[in-house]
Structure 1
Amino acid sequence: RGAVDDKSGSFASLLALAAINDLLAEGALELPRRVRVIFGGDEESGMTCAQHYAATQPATVFAVSPDGEWPVVFAEKGQALVDLAGPCPEAGELYAAEITCGTRRNVVPALAEAKLLGSAAGLAGGAEALAGWWDRNVTFERSAEGIELRATGKAAHGSTPFMGDNAGIRLLRVLAGLPVAGRDRWSELLALCDPAGEGLGLAGADPVSGPTTSNLGTIEVGSGRVSLGLDVRFRSDRDLAWVREQVAAAAPKAGLSVVEVDGIPPMHEPVDGTLVQTVMAVYRAELNGENPPIARGARTYASYIPHCVCVGRDDPSWSEGGVHGADEHYALPALRTAGRALAHLLIRLAMAPAD
């Protein structure tokens, strides 16, 4: 895992627990409830660890996940992991025989590569079109066997696709603009992967969580098949059944079938409840903050742990760097600030009356 996401939250939690233990050992503190720090190992790949904990342990009275930003994330969009597959656009004078792009659905891919094959005339025409292509982030090399096509972008978290530059989208845009076989199909696939979810029939917004986003995380083409993996963060007034219905209707328009749509329903804790209000009080006291509670698209263990919200993992005056990117980094002073704030918060929640 990265320095920010979420080694920072893990270490800040240990600092908080150590501080609470010191106070208990000195006799300076008594707690009416147990305080437990839980470490999971599957947060980016289905959260089965959190699901197992919730199913086998007593329900939490209050819980926080230091995996976001201050003051408190009281609502998280639903997440749908979408896998689609179908036959490739047909072969011809020039066609895409292979494509590799991305490794995970929840990361904006920074690199996409394709191998174009075809006749001598088709390859010559493709090379000529690529030489005049407007996008400088798309490069190619001509060989005796074909054309090696490469698109570069910028990685970002899949919950915020507009913060990155999707190399897969760039590559599909090229294929939709070149004189390749099945050009219309590539255009349909490009439309299906619209980052606002329009192509999947999921676009829209609600007042709590904001607009739907869709991240094309993976593309795989080979042996006559094309597979797409997408990460959709959908509005809090919809559910997974609605997402499945919309995707099932949209996929055939691009010649694809639904392999799987799995995910996590939206999370929403009352802003005026004890949990959110206690976090806000600690935020104001420890961090001198004035921002209101927020909703976002990123998902955390708060999705499965009862009565749980997401809180910050650093000092909000310091900007964390490069989550899910090549330059992910974290500052030690921010870690100490987060540890102190978490210790205060856990003590307050251990003493707070349950809703």
Structure 2
Amino acid sequence: MTMDMIFEKLRNYRADMKEDLSQLVAINSERDLMTKRENAPFGIGIRKCFDKMIEFARREELSVEDFNGYAMHIDYGEGQETLAILGHLDIVGIQDRYKWDSNPFQLIEKEGFWYGRGVNDNKGPMIGCLYLLKILKELNYKPNKKIRLIIGGAEETTWECMRHYFKYNKMPIYGFSPDGDFPIINCEKGIGYYKYHRKKRATNDGIYNIISITSNEDITRVCSRVEVCIETQKPEELMKLISPEVESKVNENNLVLIYKGISAMGRNPHKGKNAIFKYIKDFKGIEGLDSRAKELIDFLDRYFLDSIYGEKLGLYYKDEETGHTTNNLSYITLNSNGYVISFDFRYPKGTSYGKIKERLIEIGLENELELMIIKEMPLLYVSPDSQLVRGLKLAYQNITGEKPKLFSKGAASYARVLRQGVAFGPTFSSDRPNSHNANECINVDNFMKALLIYANAIKLLT
């Protein structure tokens, strides 16, 4: 079995892959618990996507098993040990339909790209890997390990799909997730999603009383909008102190200010512009704020303003191999019941979650705030000297002719559920797939090259 033989088959199956992928893209597989039922724990859309993938696997006479709609796997080959390829069929919902140039649930081909929700993250890679198993079977390849495509239904949300799956299945010896970037992500930073909460009723002891603060409550992204409602008898005087680009309106005799930023993934706070920072900078010097609003502004200024790497929290750390900490202030809310500060902290190899948690609790106690831990994901690190990484490096170099570099990211792939796993493509450095955003796409030529890399990796590792 040569790479030329595999490439020829991939080329011949290009139209078939596109057709199968179009059927998956047509299914809105966003988590929807309103349609939850038996064997559809994440809703009917994800169930339909699983059913379609099972249909494809059975068509190719591959072994397939469904685990109550939480996860499924597709196998080729025999062996006591298993090489796992992990991906998912659930998607991030369409929040910005007006920004799409085409129907997100219809696969469109244009100028060498496939467009549609999931073509890159992660339906496209799953279809591509299914076709690799089909090709290996047709070429009568005899691996020394079982090759197992493990597919989950809650990667974009809770990951309970993988917890359920591994209750019934043995841990693979190693594996990779085609849900990241090339060359090789051998470190995925530790992640913590947190909230500080103050239970305290509103105060009205100022000239400018903040009645409410609302913002787009997405803990995974840089805050792009904050709306502040203010009760005051002196709106004209307040407006003189506010940045001129801030939008304003009157709502039930209250002044409403709207701060806008630029959204970005929480793991990359430097790529966005945080709307909360604009609010803090406007209000931190204003005299006459009510005491609760001043307390909130002072806290945000002291620990978060312009501190996207955790310096003000006292938690900045940099590891030469795996990078530095990041700190994203994702949203704030305030109402008569108190206020909430939500943030996302990520850390590289060399520091510990225990140290981070201890410091965050300390800050909470010092400021009479309750720390709420929303979600934690431990750091993933695989040694460059491991058999897995050495095999993937060779596969990448064999196909691209380039010497691969290892790197670290703040993202989270299913590689984290393995004892030894890494994220490995399908995105090349020149690609802009727009995952989670409007006009998600995949470069078809690069996609085919990624599949060749995966085929070579499978051969080297099995």
Q: Normalising by the residue count of structure 1, what TM-score does the alignment of the two structures yield?
A: 0.87
Question: Highest relative contact order (Cα 8 Å, sep 6+), 1 or 2?
Answer: 1
Q: Given the alignment, which residue of 131, 136, 151 partners 2:259?
A: 151
Q: Secondary structure at the match of 1:16?
A: helix
Describe the SS at the equivalent of 1:147.
strand
Q: Is the 8 A contact 1:63 1:306 kept in 2?
A: no
Instruction: Identify the residue that residue 139 of structure 1 maps to in structure 2.
Output: 247
- The offset of 1:310, in angstroms, is 0.8
1:5 Cα offset (Å): 7.2
Displacement of 1:4 in angstroms is 7.9
Which of these residues, 400, 403, 406, is aligned with residue 290 of structure 1? 403
User: Secondary structure at the residue paired with 2:131?
Assistant: helix
Residue 104 (structure 1) aligned with residue 218 (structure 2): yes
Alpha-carbon shift at residue 26 of structure 1 (Å): 3.7
How many percent identity over aligned positions?
A: 20
Q: CA deviation at 1:254?
A: 4.5
Q: How does 1:85-96 map to 2 (within 5 A)?
A: 85-86=197-198, 87=200, 90-91=203-204, 92-96=206-210
Pairs within 5 Å for 1:225-240? 225-240=338-353
Q: Is the 8 A contact 2:224 2:262 kept in 1?
A: yes
Query: In structure 1, which of residues 25, 32, 37 is the aligned counterpart of residue 149 of structure 2?
Result: 37
Counterparts of 1:1-355 in structure 2 under 5 Å? 1=91, 7-27=120-140, 29-86=141-198, 87=200, 90-91=203-204, 92-118=206-232, 120-121=233-234, 123-130=235-242, 133=243, 136=245, 138-143=246-251, 145-179=253-287, 180-182=289-291, 183-193=294-304, 194-260=307-373, 262-316=375-429, 318-326=430-438, 328-349=440-461, 351=462
Residues 185 and 279 from structure 1, CA distance in 2 versus in 1: closer, same or farther, beyond 3 angstroms?
A: same
Contact 2:229 2:256 in 1 (8 A): yes
Measure the CA separation in 2 of the matches of 1:155 and 1:324.
Answer: 12
For residue 94 of structure 1, report the CA deviation from its aligned partner.
0.7
Q: Secondary structure at the match of 2:300?
A: helix
Q: Is the 8 A contact 1:107 1:324 kept in 2?
A: no
Deviations 1:41-87 (A, max 9, x none): 32233422223333431111121011211110111211111111003
Contact 2:121 2:435 in 1 (8 A): no
Shift of 1:185: 3.5
**Residue 122 of structure 2 contacts residue 179 of structure 2 at CA under 8 Å; is this kept in 1?**
yes
Distance 1:210 1:314, change over 3 A: closer
CA distance in 2, matches of 1:39, 1:324: 19
Letter of the structure 2 residue corresponding to residue 104 of structure 1: D
Contact 2:181–2:428 under 8 Å retained in 1: no
Letter aligned with residue 403 of structure 2: E
Q: CA RMSD in A?
A: 2.4
SS of the residue corresponding to residue 344 of structure 1 reads helix
Amino acid at match of 1:337: K
Taking a change above 3 Å as real, the CA distance of residues 277 and 127 of structure 1, as seen in their structure-2 partners, is same
Cα offset, 1:292, TM superposition: 1.3
In 2, the alpha carbon distance for the partners of 1:113 and 1:248 equals 28
Rounded Cα–Cα distance in structure 2 between residues aligned with 1:186 and 1:126: 16
Q: How many equivalent pairs are there?
A: 342
Deviation at 1:286, TM superposition (A): 1.7
Structure-2 separation of matches of 1:329 and 1:6: 6
Is 1:155–1:324's contact at 8 Å kept on the other side of the alignment? no
Q: Aligned letter for 2:296?
A: R
The amino acid that maps onto 1:294 is F
Q: Using the alignment, how far apart are the partners of 1:4 and 1:241 within structure 2?
A: 38
